[in-house]
Amino acid sequence: MPLGTLLLFTLVVALLGGVAGSTLLGWFRTKRVQRRFSQGRKGEKRAREELLRLGFVIVEEQPRVEAVLVIDGEEHPYTVRGDFLVERGGERALVEVKTGSTATDPLYAPTRRQLREYDALFHVKTLYLLNGKTLTLQRITFPEHGNGRKGRLPTAVLWIAVLGLALGVVCWLYC
C-alpha cells in the first residue's frame, strides 16, 4: 500500500475513532446526569412523604426567590430555587433535599454555600437539610448571619452609644 494511502487511511480511522469515542462519552455523561436527576426526583418524593409524616405542611414545592447580583455596577438578575417551603407549629422553614454520598453533608462546601444563599434570600427562621436516601432531617442555622442572627447591629449600636457617651463626658468636662 502506498504511503499516502496508508496515511489517509490512518487519518480516517483516527477521525472515526474520535467521533465514536466522543459519541460514547457523551452518551455515558447523559446517562449519568439522567441517573442523578432520577435519584434526585426519587429523593424529593420520599422527602415529601417524610415531611408530611413529621407533621409539616408543605406550603410550596420548588419555591423561587428572585435576586440581583451587581457586577461592576451592572445588575444581573437571577433566580434561586429551594425544594420545599414548609410550616409546622406556626414556623416557616425551607427544606433542601440532597442525595448522594457527599452533598448530604452540610459541611460539604457546595451544600454549605447553597444553604448560606438560602439563609440570605429566603426570609425564614429555619433551614433544614434532608437526606433523600436515609430521610435524616438536620436543622441548620448560621448564628452570626441570617436565620440565627446573634446581633452584629446591636453590638455596633452599643459601641456607638459608648463612644458618644465618652465624647459627651469629655466635652462636658473640658468644653
pLDDT of 152 > 60? The answer is: no
Location of C-alpha cell 436527576: 37
Mean pLDDT, residues 92-115 taken together:
94
pLDDT of 148 > 50? The answer is: no
* Domain chopping of the chain, boundaries: 42-142, 150-175
Topology of domain 42-142 in CATH is Lambda Exonuclease; Chain A (3.90.320)
* Dihedral sign computed on CA atoms, order 39, 40, 41, 47: positive
What are the tens digits of pLDDT across the range 18-47?
Answer: 776 777 667 667 766 566 555 556 777 899
